[in-house]
Amino acid sequence: MGATGLDLLGMYRCMVRIRTFEEHILTEWRAGEVPGEVHLYSGEEAVAAGVIANLRVDDYVVSTHRGHGHVLAKGGDPARMMAEVFGRTGGYCRGKGGTMHMADATLGILGTNGIVGASLPIATGVGLYCQYMATDRVSVCFFGDGASNRGTFHESLDLASIWKLPVIYVCENNYYGMATSVEEHMNINDIAERAASYGIPGVVVDGNDVVAVHDAAAEAIIRARSGGGTTLIECKTWRHHGHFTADPAYYRDPDVHNEHLQRDPIIRCGALLLSQGLATKEALDAVHNEAIAEMNAAVEFSKNSPWPEEDELLVGLYAE
Amino acid sequence: MESKMMTFQAAAAEGVAQEMRRDPTVYCAGEEVSAHGQAYGVSGQGVFEEFGEKRVRNTPIIETAIVGHAVGAAAVGLRPVVELMFMDFLGICMDELANQAAKMHYMFAGQYKAPMVLRVSSGAVRPAGAHHSQSLEAWAAHVPGLKIVAPSTAADAKGLMITSIRDDNPVVFIEHRALLSVEGEVPAGDYTVPLGKARVTREGSDVTLVAWSAMVPTCLEAAGELAAEGIDAEVIDLRSLIPLDKEAILSSVAKTGKLVIAHEATRTNGFGAEIAAMVADEGFDLLKSPIRRVTAPDIPVPCSPALLKHFVPNAQKIRAAVITIS
């Protein structure tokens, strides 16, 4: 890791807020307060934080079923996010979307998404908009290792590459598509190799190293803004929890899991901040305490937010 | 109003071109929309020459991304008019249409919308076999959030196209291949036809024939035969299935007491079943006889012309259905 000229503490804060948000959800889910299942982002925070640190408010993000980290990093309000997960009217979508359909149009967040691989064509079209309107805005598409096997991956990268669209496809390879390991679901080592099929740059980074993610994304985003087209970035990372809240992830070798936990992106970033004299232990503690207070408030807000009434049910099918 | 004779195909293309001139965010994309090949020419001669490759965009053979990219582009501010060369290819892009485009406005509580037109060519016209002949409007009709437009005349092809492009919701725009070369008077200029407003194509008092797309002229042919036998049929062209002009259907049935629905799609769960159920629910007391449906049988579309001619409903079958309730 080298950290010159970076807002490393800002990325650290972003990761801690994401982790704290997710762990609060898990606590509430275990207490029976969360309707339905949630796909937690804990462990993968360096990807959202490192990539999105390079974005402006007018850039776009298209997210996944495991998308809370992307929304928070892009500036999403944790109270409205949490209330959406809780199914309340205070949520981003008044409870109609839930964890997998959470959007903020004012921040260029085109939603988390319930379909694995659905983010890719949508982000491609968003990239077309950025190019068509002669802007220097970019479209960032998050998806997982499992989604990279889908036809949407191939069709989207094909289209973006021939149209030279400003789309950065960011693969979060957490080594499992649900409970199926990458060894079982693909015959290559690096998903980034697939970029060769489209004649675009493909980069592998340590997805638990926020600086490495940041730097790889910075290069791709600068290229995209200046008309240089599409990039595929593969971030190798690790899911701390199962595929979803109720999944104990028995299919993972505990030793391998523990090894990965040693590479926790937040711990690594904290150590870097201390070793480079960029922050004190007290400052890092303050980041954690602020995040806990913020997410406590988000949970409180959500629990106090009214459930939607029946008269809300039929509202808004069509745009008028 | 000034008008001129033109084909259905040219009229639809004129609608697209006029909207492209009016609104720079409207663009076309699809397989061979700009090039030499262009199987059905639905984007129209001259459109590429006028607007160029930025706004008339050739794509690879990637129906998933053709529709999927349009959802993203529409969500952030463009108005895509994208094409499937055959409606049979809907299965390749159904997630993008049904889960993404159709649901976006509701599930995001109005934060995003998907103003896009998906043009699809339908129908068993030439012997093309089971993958290039279907009428799949019922697939789309089962997905809340879509609108479905199926014009039968050249004028409607233009007027409904303009309205569909201006609509802020995803519209499936069905162009039956048997209609593409049919000519009609088409109003010039900014001509729009509202969605959800059926037209009484032929007034009659004895039986109501409800149809859309290419079954409208077939019903008119049947009505002509029935007139010779002293049966005065009213023909209603729905023009759009979603939104559905229930009032037009019910008020006609109130007059005739008899309803025959004709569609080229297969029978079970075809859109005719929905119309029959709606009339049974809301107009049961108006009916003097059972509702009849004239449809294709529940089989894949056969290729041989010797079989195909029995597959597609014709005027004789519609006439025969009317006779059973006359």
Residues A129, A126: Cα–Cα separation, whole Å? 5
Q: Give the start-to-end residue ranges of the domains of chain A.
A: 8-297
Residues A222, A50: Cα–Cα separation, whole Å? 14
Predicted local confidence at residue A7, as pLDDT: 95
User: Across residues A278-288, what is the average pLDDT?
Assistant: 98
Q: Considering only alpha carbons, which residue of chain A is nearest residue B53?
A: A163
Of B69, B105, B132, B263, which one is the catalytic site residue?
Answer: B132
Predicted local confidence at residue B46, as pLDDT: 76
Predicted local confidence at residue B261, as pLDDT: 99
List, for residues B177-201, the tens digit of each pLDDT value: 999 999 999 999 999 999 999 999 9
Count of alpha carbons within 13 angstroms of residue B200, beta-carbon side? 16
User: Across residues B16-25, what is the average pLDDT?
Assistant: 96
Predicted local confidence at residue A121, as pLDDT: 98
Tell me if B78 and A132 make a contact (CB, 8 A cut-off).
yes
Residues whose CB falls within 8 Å of the CB of residue B157, separated by 6 or more in sequence, listed in order: B8, B9, B11, B12, B15, B151, B175, B179, B186
pLDDT grade for B1, boundaries at 50, 70 and 90: confident
Predicted local confidence at residue A275, as pLDDT: 97
pLDDT at B35 over 80: no
Query: Min CA distance, A303 vs chain B (Å)?
Result: 20
List, for residues A50-82, the tens digit of each pLDDT value: 999 999 999 999 999 999 999 999 999 999 999
Name all domains of chain B by residue range, CATH numbers in brackets.
7-187 (3.40.50.970), 199-324 (3.40.50.920)
- Closest Cβ opposite residue A156 in set B65, B108, B144: B65
Predicted local confidence at residue A273, as pLDDT: 97
pLDDT grade for A5, boundaries at 50, 70 and 90: low
Query: Mean pLDDT lowest for which of A6-20, B23-37, B223-237, B292-306?
Result: B23-37
User: Across residues A131-156, what is the average pLDDT?
Assistant: 98
pLDDT at A108 over 70: yes
User: Across residues A183-207, what is the average pLDDT?
Assistant: 98
- Residue B302: DSSP 8-state: P
Predicted local confidence at residue B34, as pLDDT: 78
Share of residues in chain B with pLDDT > 90 (%): 93
List, for residues B60-119, the tens digit of each pLDDT value: 999 999 999 999 999 999 999 999 999 999 999 999 999 999 999 999 999 999 999 999
Q: Where are the beta strands (DSSP E) in chain B?
A: 3-7, 26-31, 56-59, 79-84, 117-122, 147-149, 171-176, 183-187, 199-202, 207-211, 233-237, 240-242, 259-266, 292-296
pLDDT at B42 over 60: no
Instruction: Answer whether B3 touches A (CB < 8 Å).
Output: no
Predicted local confidence at residue A272, as pLDDT: 97
Other Cβ atoms within 10 Å of B305 Cβ, number: 9
Q: In chain A, which residues have their Cβ closer than 8 Å to the Cβ of B65? A: 121, 124, 152, 155-156, 158-159
Query: Min CA distance, B260 vs chain A (Å)?
Result: 31
Tell me if B65 and A105 make a contact (CB, 8 A cut-off).
no
- What is the spatial order of strands in the sheet that B259-266 belongs to? B199-202, B233-237, B207-211, B259-266, B292-296
User: Across residues A28-49, what is the average pLDDT?
Assistant: 97
Question: Terminus-to-terminus CA distance in chain A, angstroms?
Answer: 51
What is the ipTM score, two decimals? 0.96
B132 is catalytic: yes
- Interface probe for A, chosen from B20, B107, B171 (most Cβ of A below 10 Å), is B107
Q: In chain A, which residues have their Cβ closer than 8 Å to the Cβ of B169? A: 318-319
pLDDT at B223 over 50: yes
List, for residues B113-141, the tens digit of each pLDDT value: 999 999 999 999 999 999 999 999 999 99
pLDDT grade for A196, boundaries at 50, 70 and 90: very high
Predicted local confidence at residue B37, as pLDDT: 46
Predicted local confidence at residue A2, as pLDDT: 45
Predicted local confidence at residue A3, as pLDDT: 46
Predicted local confidence at residue A6, as pLDDT: 82
Q: Find the DSSP H helices in chain A.
A: 8-30, 45-52, 68-73, 78-85, 119-132, 151-163, 182-185, 210-225, 254-262, 265-275, 281-304
User: Across residues B202-217, what is the average pLDDT?
Assistant: 98
Tell me if B100 and A118 make a contact (CB, 8 A cut-off).
yes
List, for residues A235-264, the tens digit of each pLDDT value: 999 999 999 999 999 999 999 999 999 999
Instruction: Work out the mean pLDDT of chain A and round it to a whole number.
Output: 97
Predicted local confidence at residue B40, as pLDDT: 56
User: Across residues A258-279, what is the average pLDDT?
Assistant: 97
Tell me if A317 and B99 make a contact (CB, 8 A cut-off).
no
pLDDT at B168 over 90: yes
Superfamily classification of domain A8-297: Thiamin diphosphate (ThDP)-binding fold, Pyr/PP domains (3.40.50.970)
Going A175 to A176 to A182 to A186, the CA torsion angle's sign is negative
